[in-house]
Amino acid sequence: MSPRVKPSKTKSRSSEVVVPDKLYFRIGEVARLCRLPAYVLRFWETEFSQLKPVKSSTGQRMYRKRDVESVLRIKKLLYEDGFTIAGARVQLREEIKSDRSQSALPFPVQSSRNAAYIRQELQQILHILSARR
């Protein structure tokens, strides 16, 4: 029988990374920050639609802060959580869906009263404007 491997109890490296507050990062900076080779980042761009660095006029990849955060999330899913690329892709899509549904604001309870008030105010403005002619 083969020995069992115990899961590591150390903190994940991707959660230790502090992303500097900059507008753009070059691929080498992202590779160093995320402790990944640049070729892995280029490959992940083809596999994950969330990674879309803009290209400068010279063709240099320029990652935004949210791209770097996506790289760290993908790294965690693949290297720490054991997802396959396809599984990580599905997981990211599900997270985006749940973020969108949670961020939607509910309609206020008194919306019909507010709408009536706004309509009345607009009618008064229209009356004032039409009287000036």
Render pLDDT for 104-114 as a digit per residue (tens, 0 to 9): 555 555 666 67
Both tokens assigned to 96: 């985006």
Q: Which residues does residue 55 pair with via DSSP β-bridges, in sequence order?
A: 61
Under the phi-then-psi rule, with left for phi > 0, alpha for psi from -120 to 50, and beta for the rest, what region is 92? alpha
Q: CATH for 13-103?
A: 1.10.1660.10
Domain boundaries, the chain: 13-103
pTM: 0.63
CB atoms within 10 A of CB 24: 16
Instruction: Examine the pLDDT at 94 and tell me if it is beyond 80.
Output: yes
**What local confidence, expressed as pLDDT, does residue 11 receive?**
44
